[in-house]
Amino acid sequence: MILTVTLNTALDITYRVRNLRPHGTHRVTEVTERPGGKGLNVARVLAALGHEVTATGFVGGATGRAVQDQLTRTPGVVDALLPVEGATRRTIAVADTASGDTTQLNEPGPLIASAEWSAFQEAYADLLRSASAVALCGSLPPGLPVGAYAGLIRTARTLGVPVLLDTSGEPLRRGVAARPDLVKPNADELAELTGSHEPSRASRDARRRGAQAVVASLGPDGLLAHTPEGHWRATPPRRFRGNPTGAGDSAVAGLISGLIDRLPWPDRLARAVALSAATVLTPVAGEFDREVYEDLVGRVVVTGEVTAA
Amino acid sequence: MILTVTLNTALDITYRVRNLRPHGTHRVTEVTERPGGKGLNVARVLAALGHEVTATGFVGGATGRAVQDQLTRTPGVVDALLPVEGATRRTIAVADTASGDTTQLNEPGPLIASAEWSAFQEAYADLLRSASAVALCGSLPPGLPVGAYAGLIRTARTLGVPVLLDTSGEPLRRGVAARPDLVKPNADELAELTGSHEPSRASRDARRRGAQAVVASLGPDGLLAHTPEGHWRATPPRRFRGNPTGAGDSAVAGLISGLIDRLPWPDRLARAVALSAATVLTPVAGEFDREVYEDLVGRVVVTGEVTAA
């Protein structure tokens, strides 16, 4: 199975409101709730692609129960989330039906006790023994050491399980130094890590810092990959407009899926770009338009070159 | 015991956010959660005053469980809430720490099925048999008939239980026609009911429409009462600044408490005004500053006259 790790799971709530005004009182006309946190989105996309997936991380409180209730109804995802004392955070997206704007309110997440973190590390090592790959995704909840992902990467490497990291800031910097098989930063995260706003140069720098492969997401322009086997650029046949939330998570799912299916890099990148574009066309992270995906996957333009052996 | 009815219970969530901007992404720095809905606030204040209280109404989903978990930890309140299929609504107050403003987002509440409403009416009639008074408070959730409160008032009157109604709009209009013992509108609700913005005239009109007594809340200026025994005005010794949320609910609790303790009207009104002011000084609805209350209750100024026998 593929293991996804979401240390800061979320209950993603979307409100429809007409004309959001600070200091006003607003009647919410529509409420939707989804399990959230990048790793859970990745898990849902992988399951929809037909992979066996196990989702782990932390979950707690009434919001955590709501996340687990919905995850139970997602076929193909095994729930291995660890209960904690604190409550799973909510994220609230207030979609203004008048302006089309979305305003985001993100709770910080529960404070994780050191005993809870120790219990997680043990459970994680056990799960890795039956994993063919692992994706570590998203922000860290309060209370975890900033090197949390670095430790999880070392455990995966010790057990010979390919490990992908998708996070930002200092947890990304520490994680990269622990030599993950793959990181998938966006352009801003890559610039913050390396100081360079030129994605190719920044990707090469991230590899020198420890990442074995770097796939940078360039938004509607697709993906840029720097790997030991070569470097490529993968571009969708046209730009897609819609809701970019979850597009990066779908790219992660595509990359992991391609790794498990032993696809060559250009095909992995095509799968990731097509999934990403097909996610932009759906209103919800962790879901994609299957027809668009199947239509696009053969039409992604991949250019680049293989590294001389 | 005193029965409080909250058909549209809520999980009241407060977010602290620095500088709320539409279209922005905001990190919530502090999250607090409280059981909400006017009737639950009334129940908590009555319990704090030493009364035995039973809280009924509807509750459902993960948000409903969070409401019940917290209610269980409130000494003196017996939970007789009925489970429903839909989820209890959230209300979100976004407190901007930069401007001091609060922006409110209110979910509509669960759709109540007709079988759920029938089950409630039966349970309510059973509870009334051991109730010395009943308070019907707040908005109606979707799916209930607009005359829902009118029906509950008739049942209470049939069983000889004094009934107080605190709602607004059409449910208030229908409720008043069912001849409740007391209504407690604020000035806006009273104006909407009667068409008059002059509180004394509007209160007399509301009595003609069916309410046996009317206590209008005039915000920081106190209360105005028109009853079969006479009419009075009760004014706090000074104006209090703070958070008015829950002040009306504390006034309802004071009026019911004074009724149960068989206080004469001027003392009931003094209790309600003092509780209301002591609530303005706390950040949370359903709580009051006991020291302020005890200091104020003897200093509320009540003027008026008794109706000639």
Each residue's pLDDT tens digit in chain B (309 positions)?
Answer: 999 999 999 999 999 999 999 888 899 999 999 999 999 999 999 999 999 999 999 999 989 999 999 999 989 999 999 999 999 999 999 988 888 888 999 999 999 999 999 999 999 999 999 999 999 999 999 999 999 999 999 999 999 999 999 999 999 999 999 999 999 999 999 999 999 999 999 999 999 999 999 999 998 899 999 999 999 999 999 888 777 778 999 999 999 999 999 999 999 999 999 999 999 888 777 789 999 999 999 999 999 989 876
Min distance B175 CA to chain A CA atoms (Å) = 24
Among B249, B261, B267, B295, the one annotated catalytic: B249
pLDDT (tens digit per residue) in A135-163: 999 999 999 999 999 999 999 999 999 99
What residues contact residue B166 under an 8 Å CB cut-off, 6+ apart? B38, B42, B135, B136, B137, B138, B183, B184, B185, B248, B249, B252
Partners of residue B107 in chain A, C-beta under 8 Å: 15, 28, 31
Q: What is the mean pLDDT of chain A?
A: 94
Instruction: Report percent pLDDT > 70 for chain A.
Output: 100
Tell me if A106 and B26 make a contact (CB, 8 A cut-off): yes
B/e letters for A228-264, b = 16+ CB within 10 Å, e = fewer, are eeebbbbbbeeebeebebbbbbbbbbbbbbbbbeebe
Task: Tell me whether residues B104 and A21 touch, CB distance under 8 A.
Answer: no
For chain A, the domains span 2-9+36-88+110-306
| Mean pLDDT value of segment A294-300 | 95
A31 vs B contacts (CB less than 8 Å): 107-108
At residue B245, the pLDDT reads 79
Contact A24 B108 (CB under 8 A): no
pLDDT at A102: 85
pLDDT at B240: 80
Contacts of A21 in chain B (CB under 8 A): 22, 103
Respond yes or no on whether ipTM tops 0.85. no
> Among partner residues B24, B62, B99, which is closest to A66 by beta-carbon distance?
B62
Q: Which of B71, B103, B139, B188 is best to mutate for the A interface (most A CBs within 10 A)?
A: B103
Across A258-279, average pLDDT: 96
Cβ-count burial of B122 within 10 angstroms (0-12 exposed, 13-18 middle, 19+ buried)? exposed
Taking only residues 14 to 73 of chain B, the set having a beta carbon closer than 8 angstroms to any beta carbon of chain A reads: 15, 17, 20-29, 31, 61-63, 65-66, 69
Give the pLDDT confidence score for residue A260 in this predicted structure.
Answer: 97
The whole-number pLDDT of residue B309 equals 63
Question: What CATH number belongs to A2-9+36-88+110-306?
Answer: 3.40.1190.20
Query: Distance from B66 to chain A by nearest Cα, in Å?
Result: 6
Does the pLDDT at position A309 exceed 70? no
Strand pairing category for A102-106 and B25-27: parallel
- Is A245 an interface residue toward B (CB < 8 Å)? no
Query: Between chains, do A106 and B62 touch, taking CB under 8 Å as contact?
Result: no
Which are the catalytic amino acids of A?
A: 249
Minimum-distance CB partner of A101 among B22, B62, B106: B22
The predicted pLDDT at position B283 comes to 73
Q: Residue B57 in contact with residue B35, Cβ under 8 Å?
A: no
For residue A60, give every residue at least 6 positions away whose Cβ sits within 8 Å of its Cβ, in sequence order, or none: A83, A84, A85, A86, A87, A88, A110
pTM higher than 0.90 for the full model? Answer: no
Contact residues, chain A, for B62 at CB < 8 Å: 62-63, 65-66, 69
Question: Can you name the CATH fold of B2-8+36-87+110-306?
Answer: UDP-N-acetylmuramoyl-L-alanine:D-glutamate ligase (3.40.1190)
CA-to-CA separations, A39 to A213, B115, B292, in angstroms, rounded: 19, 40, 50
A contacts of B92 (beta carbons < 8 Å): 92, 105
